Chain A
Amino acid sequence: MRDALGAVQSVLVLGGGSEIAGAIVDRLVGARCRTVVLAAREPDALDPTLDRLRAAGAATAEAVAFDALDPGSHQATIDAVFDRHGDIDMVIVAFGVLGDQATFDHDPVAAAEAASANYVGAVSASLVVADRFRRQGHGTLLVLSSVAGVRTRADNYVYGSTKAGLDAFAQGLGDALVGTGARVVVVRPGFVHTKMTEGRPPAPFSTTPDAVADAVMAGLAKGREVIWAPPVLVALFTVFRVLPRAVWRRVSAR
């Protein structure tokens, strides 16, 4: 169960290799979380993470195979986790690929695959989770969106558009779930230094997985529906969102 301060006792991470999700899970385990299930394409690669979580106090830490690109498998994979562990208090939707816009420009199939993973996969997995949450009468779906989806930029519009779709989907799902005990929290990080962004030029107000995780924990404790990381981005993007296209092109160009 989630407690009054937002701490949960069990978590399932879809996209278990995500560094941001990893930093969040570290904090959850540091509080009340004793059951952690990491779902990833290559679960065997997560052994070191599982060891770390067990050492930090997780009574149960396991990795399961999960393929975002195979929506047909999501129901069985997610149901199995819920059936095996009883209540899952929080599910983090953390999978996704950033991709390279220059590559996408010449490889429409790769672009479509990124869209399938980031958006289509998240839609199917989230709906399976929402159904389980409704049945257990509670649960927090934490969706890792991005400021890239708030206003898409010319240099990563494929990625940005997948996050825009995901963000809109998550908000709609959250509204639809009001009254069911389940809730959706959308996290909108800015540029985060991770292996996914390695070698990319950082944007202003760039941040780290730990800082994002801290912002998430603070937001969860306060019952926020949308969490910006760093929080200053909410002001910045309130302005960015309404800039005329011509101005936005110049602001976002680098």
Chain B
Amino acid sequence: MLARPHITEVSGWGRTAPTAADVRRPTSSTELRRALPTRSVRGLLARGLGRGYGDCAQNSGGTVVETTDVDAFTIHDADPADDTVLVTAEAGASIDRLLHALVPQGLFVPVTPGTRYVTVGGAVAADIHGKNHHRKGSWCQHVISLHLQLASGEVVEVGPERDPELFWATAGGMGLTGVVLDATFRCPRIASSRLLVDTDRAADLDEVLALMATGDHAYDYSVAWIDLMAGGKATGRSVLTRGRFATAEEASAATGADPLAYRAGVLAPAPPWVPDGLLNKLTVRAFNELWFRKAPVSRRDELQTIPTFFHPLDMVGGWNRMYGPAGFLQWQFVVPFGSERALRRIVEELSRAGCTSFLAVLKAFGDGDPGPLSFPAAGWTLALDIPTGVRGLGPLLDRLDELVASEGGRVYLAKDSRLRPELVPVMYPRLDAWREVRRRVDPEGRITSDLARRLRL
């Protein structure tokens, strides 16, 4: 055999462009810390649950350290009068595991993305956002300190007040400033494990944008699912769901005796093998149509569980396999408020291109944070999955990238798998400041990734 025994191919969630690395899986934080300094000539990278879509958690020919077994966490004591409670979690602790411990104690995570299968290390590296971004910002805005192991092996503690340059370079820094060992963050209190959800169906893009612009401030959580396969007058038709955690009293009808009861699991795994082309224009269009029709035009105060509201896709294990062996990519961008015309053009072009895209996600972001590579910024963000086989997809997305960049917007590096490297400094104008910090802590670039190589970060 040509392959050495510990060499394994690693890919992102989209399963495109896998590369091989020496994959290690330490079982304790002590063992994790022994990985640095690395002897590998192609460097080292920490990897969590691999939910990044592209190549951000790959390090071809080098070392990849999977942190998922280093997952201890502590819920600190707090004054009952405090709004939040501090939690310290090791890098590999997942939001899934945290929620199972936090929710029954009346706590929630400060931010959750559309999947709970992300680690705390990954949450820092991508500075993840969720449905509450317009109110609460992204993950790193809730982190008060973290331990970072630098390429030299030295462990430093950083936070917004302690070496803020390094802290913010790490926030959204795609794991390239060092290995996050643990993070301490503020978790909000909740009175029940149910959400009170309002649903509004919008006939087109203008309507959903207007609904969000005028009403989001009244909700803690807000997101719209948009049907990109609908064309003509229906272009941009959406279902907007917004809500807040219910009080124990409001939730009692659904929860019975225990308002904080929490159950989350995988209902069914995706089949192990899916033929190419299962998701074609016809099937996806039919699915989107059904989903739009089944949504109420307007519904108020519906009680939903945490998994239903926040993590609907997690109910199907390994759903990324549904796209078949060729894989898929996700494209997510943000354009500033005021760029509605560009947003409209993008939605129209995607709709016209007939990309077989399941529901895309549209949200209004609040202000961004100081992280030079942190993605969120005030404006509209749209995220969509596209199978890689779509004809003309590369040139189409290149054109749309240019449009996003010219509007002062950017794409999300945690999702990227194909951006033209020349656009990174345009989309992230403070890239050089970030590079300077990286040079300070890792002059030889020993902590690196395929994303860093491809985009020449």
Contact = CB atoms under 8 A, between A and B. Distances in A.
Contact of B20 (A4, A87, A138): A138
Interface string B1-18: 111000111000010111
B389 A137 contact: no
Contact of B450 (A1, A5, A134, A178): A1
Interface of B: 1-3, 7-9, 14, 16-21, 42, 54-55, 59-62, 325-327, 329, 388-389, 393-394, 417-418, 420-421, 450, 453-454
B389 A179 contact: no
Given A3-B417, A181-B21, 13 more contacts: A3-B16, A4-B16, A4-B388, A137-B19, A137-B20, A138-B60, A138-B61, A177-B2, A181-B20, A221-B389, A222-B326, A222-B388, A223-B327
A128 to B, nearest CB: 14
Nearest to B393: A5
Nearest to A182: B20
B394 A221 contact: yes
The 9 A-B pairs at the shortest CB distance, nearest first, are namely A137-B61, A181-B20, A137-B60, A4-B417, A4-B16, A1-B454, A138-B19, A181-B19, A3-B418
B394 A181 contact: no
Contacts of A130: 2
Nearest to B450: A1
Interface residues of A, number: 26
Given A138-B61, A179-B9, A181-B19, A4 B329 contact: yes
B18 A181 contact: yes
Judged by DSSP, the binding face of A is loop
A135 interface: yes
A97 interface: no
B388 A221 contact: yes
Contact of A7 (B54, B389, B418): B418
A179 B20 contact: yes
Contact of A179 (B3, B14, B55, B327): B3
B394 A5 contact: yes
Contacts of A223: 16, 325-327, 388
Interface of A: 1-5, 7, 9, 31-32, 87, 130, 134-138, 176-182, 221-223
Interface centre among A7, A87, A137, A176 (most CB of B within 10 A): A137
Nearest to B64: A137
B17 A135 contact: no
Nearest to A223: B326
Contact of A136 (B9, B42, B418, B454): B42
Interface centre among A3, A4, A135, A137 (most CB of B within 10 A): A4
Contacts of B59: 137
Nearest to A7: B394
A182 B20 CA distance: 8
A137 B389 CA distance: 24
Contacts of B325: 223
Given A4-B327, A4-B417, A222 B389 contact: yes
